[in-house]
Chains A and B, each alone.
Chain A
Amino acid sequence: MKWLRASHDFLSSSPSQALTDIIYTPDNIRRQGRHVWGTIFSEFLNSRELIWRLILRDIAARYRQSMLGYLWAVFPSIVTVIVFAVLTQSHTIHIAETPLPYVAYALWNISVWQLFAGCLTGCTNSLASAGSLVSKANFPKEALVMAAVGHPLLDFMIRLVLVTFVFVWYGVPFKAQMSFVPLILLPAILLAVGLSFVLSIINLLLRDIGNILGIALTFAMFLAPVFYPPPTTWPSSLINILNPLSPFLIASQDMIAHGSLSQPQAFLFSGLFSVFVFLVAWRLFRLTIYRVAPYA
C-alpha cells in the first residue's frame, strides 16, 4: 500500500522527478527516531557546496579593502612571540627548557592556539553576525557555523609558511612524522565547532556569550602549554588535562620534536571526546535552531 501511494505521487507530479512532502509539526524534529543521523548526514552532503561558497565569501570579503591583506594572518603571532622571546632572553620570566628552540616552539604553539581560538570565536559569532539570514531564509544553518572554520584555517596555513621559515632558521629537523600533525589538529577543530554549535545558539539569545568568550580565551591561553613546556609536577600538571586543547597541543609538539606521542592515552581520550562533543552538539543545534531563529 505504501509503495502504491509512492508511485501515485510519482505519476501525479508534472516534472520528471517525484515530489517529496515536507511536514512541519511542533515536534517532528525531536521525534525523528533512528533516522536522525541519516537525515543529518544527507543534509550535510547536500550543503557541502553552500559551506564552500560561504567560506569563499568570507575569505574574499575579509581582505578586499585592506592593503596588507593576508599578512594580517601572521602579524599578531609575530608580535606576541617577539614579546615573549624578549622576556625570556632577558630573564624577566623564567621558563623551563622547551623541546624546540624557544622562538620556534612559541610560534608553533601560538599558531595552533589561534587556530582553535579563531574557530571557537568565529563559529560562536557566526549566527549572530549573519543577522536576518538566520531569521528570514531557509537553509541548513549549521552551514554558517561550519563555514566559519574557513577563515581561521586559511590564516593558520599562511602562518605555516612563517613557521617553516623559522624552523629552517633554527635548524629544526623535518621528519616524516610531521605529516600526522593535521590528524592531531582535526579533533581540536571538531571540538571547537562542537562547542560553538551550543554557544552560537545561546549567543543568539544572550549576546554576552561573545564577550565572555573573548575574555575566557585570553585567560585559557595562559593555562595551556603555549609559552612554556608542559609542566611535569603536580598540581600544575593539571593544565595538561583540564584545558581541553592541551592534549592536542602537547601531541603536536611531541610529533614535531620527537616523532612520537608522550601521552598517547590522553590524546586518544581527548580525540574521542571531541568527536562525541561534536556529534551531540550538532544534534542539539538542529533541535534548537528553530527556537532561536526569531532572535537573530
Chain B
Amino acid sequence: MPKDVLISVEHVSKKYCRSLRHSMLYGVYDVARDMLGLDGHNDQLRETEFWAIDDVSFELQRGECLGIIGPNGAGKSTLLKMLNGILLPDKGKITIRGRVGALIELGAGFHPMLTGRENIYINGAILGVRRKAIHRKFDEIVAFAELEDFIDSPIKFYSSGMYARLGFAVSAHLNPDVLLIDEVLAVGDVAFRLKCFNHVRSLVQSGSAIILVTHSQNDIARVCSRGIVLHHGKPLPAEGLAQAVRQYHELLQTATRETRDQRDTPVRVTAVRTLDSQGMASRQFRSGEHVLVDIHYESRISVDDCVFVIKLASHDLGEFVSFTNRVSGQTIPISVGSGSIIVRLRNVPLLGGNYIVQVHMYDAGTKTFWDQAVPACTFDIIEPDPEIWKEFHTLRIEHDWLINPRFSS
C-alpha cells in the first residue's frame, strides 16, 4: 500500500437478507458452519438475499475527506460498519492503516443512570482510550460539550442535544488517523454543528483521512474533497465532487417522480420545462439570468379564473420560495382543450445548485384543487467556481460594503 494511503477498499461486497425468517435460519446455519470450520460460501446469494454493497473500491489518503452520499438504503452505513470492523465483507478486502475513530453511534455504552462524568470514562474505554488519557483531556471534553453545570447529573436527565454533544466530545478527542462519521453531525443546535464541522476540518488539515456519510449537499461541500454516490449498493462513476452531487440529485428526483399522484381530475398539468430567455429549452442557467417556466395543461372544462402556484425547492432546504398569479393580480382563464402558460422569472438570484420546480393548480372561486406536479422539473444554476458553495448559500442578495461608515445621527 502506498505510504500516504490510509484506507484501501478493494472490490468489497456484503450481502443482506430481506426476510427476517430466512436471515435467522441463515444466521444459525452460518454460525454452525463457522464453528465447525467449514467454508461458508459467502460469495453466493441464497433465497431472499441481495448485495447490500456490490463491488465497491476506493482509496483514501492522508488529508482527504470522502463524502458518501446516496438515498436511504443505498448501503452507506453498511459500508461504514465494514470499514470499522463491526461486520466482515463477504467478498473483497479492506485495509486500514493507523488508529480508527468512528462516530457511528454517539455515546456508545452510555448508561442513563450514571452521571456524565462516569459515562465519559465508560465511552472512552469502549473507544479504546486509557483512563489516564481521558483523565488528562477530561476538562477539555466537558468544555467542548458545554456541559460544565450538568457533568455530575445522571444523563437520563439530559436533553437529546446534550447527550449527543457529550458523545461527540469524547469521540472528537481521540485524534484518530482515520475517522468514520455516520450522519451524526446533524445533531445538536446550529452553533454546536458548526463547532463539529470546524473540528472535522481541523482533523483533515492535521492529516487524518475522513469518511463522512451524509444526506446534505452543504455538508459535503463544506468539508469533503471527494464524493462517492451509492445506489443499491453500487458506486456510480463520478468525476469530482460536483458531478457526484448532481448524480445524487438525479437519483432523488427519479425516486420522488415515481410517487406522483395519478388521480382523475378535469384539469391536469401535462408537461413542465424550463426555457432560456430566447425560448429554447434549457436546464442550465447562470446566476442572474432569466428562467422561463413553460407549463402545459389539458382541461375538460372551461374556467374563468385559475390559480397557478409555482414553488422552488432545494434538496437541503425543501420549498423555500413560492409565487402565484393571485398575488400578482393576474387572472388566467382556461378553455376546454390544451394550452400553455409561461412564467418568466427575471434575473433569478440563485446561487449554484440544483433546484426543483413545483406547480400547483386550483380554481380561484371554488378553491377546488386540480393538479400538482411535484417535482415538475429541475434546473441547475452553474457556478463556475465551485469554491463558492463553501461560503455562500442559495440566494444572491444585492449588497454593498461600507467600511468604517460615519452616519450623522
Contacts of B113 in A (CB 8 A): 60-61, 64-65
Interface positions, chain A 23-55, Cβ under 8 Å from B, are 23-30, 46, 49-50, 53-54
Interface string of A191-204 (1 = CB under 8 A from B): 00000000001100
CA distance A127 to B122 in the complex (A): 17
- Hey, what's the 0/1 contact readout for A135-165 against B, CB within 8 Å counting as 1? 1111100000000000000000000000000
A23 smallest CB distance to B (angstroms): 5
Nearest chain A CB to B108 CB, angstrom units: 4
Q: Does A205 contact B (CB under 8 A)?
A: yes
Find chain A residues with CB under 8 A from B43 CB: 26
Instruction: Check B93–A24 contact: CB distance below 8 A.
Output: yes
Q: Which residues of A sit under 8 angstroms from B90, Cβ to Cβ? A: 26
Q: Contacts of B81 on A, CB cut-off 8 Å?
A: 135-136
* 1/0 contact string of B118-143 vs chain A (CB within 8 Å): 10011001111011000000000000
Decide if the interface of chain A is mainly helix, strand, loop or mixed.
Answer: helix
Number of A-B contacts (CB under 8 A): 143
A137 adjacent to B34 (CB under 8 Å) = no
User: Contacts of B92 on A, CB cut-off 8 Å?
Assistant: 25-26
Interface string of B95-128 (1 = CB under 8 A from A): 1111110101100110101100010011001111
Chain B residues contacting A132 (CB-CB under 8 Å) are: 105
User: What chain B residues lie within 8 Å of A65 (beta carbons)?
Assistant: 113
Query: Would you call A25 and B27 a contact (CB within 8 A)?
Result: no
Our pick among A22, A61, A287 for the contact of B96 (Cβ within 8 Å) is A22
List residues 1-23 of chain A with CB under 8 A from any CB of chain B: 8-9, 12-15, 19-23
Q: Would you call B405 an interface residue if the criterion is a C-beta within 8 Å of the partner chain's C-beta atoms? A: no
A21-B1, A23-B94, A138-B86 as given contacts; A133 in contact with B31, CB under 8 Å: no
Name B42's closest neighbour in chain A (CB-CB): A26
B30 within 8 A of A: yes
Given contacts A53-B121, A54-B122, contact A135 B86 (CB under 8 A): yes
Q: With A287-B34, A291-B27 in contact, is A24–B85 under 8 Å at CB? A: yes
Contact A287 B35 (CB under 8 A): yes
Known: A133-B126, A287-B35. A293 touches B118 (CB 8 A): no
Write the chain A residue with the least CB distance to B31.
A288
Looking at the complex, which one of B24, B34, B177 makes contact with A205 (CB distance below 8 Å)? B24
Chain B residues with CB under 8 A of A23: 93-96
Near A by CB (< 8 A), chain B positions 1-33 give 1, 3-4, 16, 23-24, 27-28, 30-31
Chain B interface residue number, banded: 35 or more
Docked CA distance A202–B30 (Å): 11
**B354 near A: Cβ within 8 Å?**
no
Q: Which residue of A lies closest to B156 (CB)?
A: A65
Enumerate A104-119 residues with CB–CB distance to B below 8 Å: none
A294 in the interface (beta carbon within 8 A) = yes
Residues of A contacting B154 with CB < 8 Å?
Answer: 64
User: B88, A24: Cβ atoms under 8 Å?
Assistant: yes
Contacts of B97 in A (CB 8 A): 19-22
Interface string of B70-92 (1 = CB under 8 A from A): 00000000000110111111111
Cβ of A242 < 8 Å from any Cβ of B? Answer: no
Contact yes or no, B3 A24, CB < 8 A: no
Q: Mark A61-76, 1 if CB is under 8 A from B, else 0.
A: 1001100000000000
B207 at the A/B interface (Cβ < 8 Å)? Answer: yes
A29-B88, A137-B86 known; A202-B31 Cβ under 8 A: yes
A51 to chain B minimum Cβ distance, whole angstroms, is 9
- Is A24 in contact with B30, judged by CB distance below 8 angstroms? no
Q: How far is the CA of A15 from the CA of B99 in the complex (A)?
A: 11
Residue B333 lies at the interface, judged by CB distance under 8 Å to chain A:
no
B37 beta carbon closer than 8 Å to chain A: yes
Chain B min CB distance to A70 (Å): 16
* A205-B27 CB under 8 A given contacts A24-B93, A137-B104: yes
Given A57-B118, A294-B87, verify A205-B126 contact (CB < 8 Å).
no
Q: A24-B93, A26-B91 are in contact. Are A139 and B27 (CB under 8 A)?
A: no
CB distance from A256 to the nearest CB of B (A): 37
Q: How far is the CA of A21 from the CA of B89 in the complex (A)?
A: 17
For B154, the closest partner residue in chain A by CB is A64
Chain B positions near chain A (C-beta within 8 angstroms)? 1, 3-4, 16, 23-24, 27-28, 30-31, 34-35, 37, 40, 42-43, 62, 81-82, 84-100, 102, 104-105, 108-109, 111, 113-114, 118, 121-122, 125-128, 130-131, 154, 177, 207
Apart from A12-B3, A21-B1, 19 more pairs, CB < 8 Å: A19-B97, A19-B98, A20-B98, A21-B95, A21-B97, A22-B100, A24-B82, A24-B94, A26-B43, A26-B89, A54-B125, A65-B113, A133-B105, A136-B104, A288-B31, A290-B86, A290-B87, A293-B87, A294-B16
Instruction: Report which A residues bind B (CB closer than 8 A).
Output: 8-9, 12-15, 19-30, 46, 49-50, 53-54, 57, 60-61, 64-65, 132-133, 135-139, 201-202, 205-206, 284, 287-288, 290-295
Q: Which 4 A-B pairs have the closest CB atoms?
A: A136-B105, A12-B3, A137-B108, A53-B125
A-B contact pairs, 27 of them (CB 8 A): A13-B98, A19-B97, A21-B1, A21-B95, A21-B96, A22-B95, A24-B85, A25-B92, A25-B93, A26-B89, A54-B109, A54-B125, A132-B105, A136-B108, A137-B102, A137-B105, A138-B100, A202-B28, A205-B27, A205-B31, A284-B35, A288-B31, A288-B34, A290-B88, A292-B27, A294-B16, A295-B27
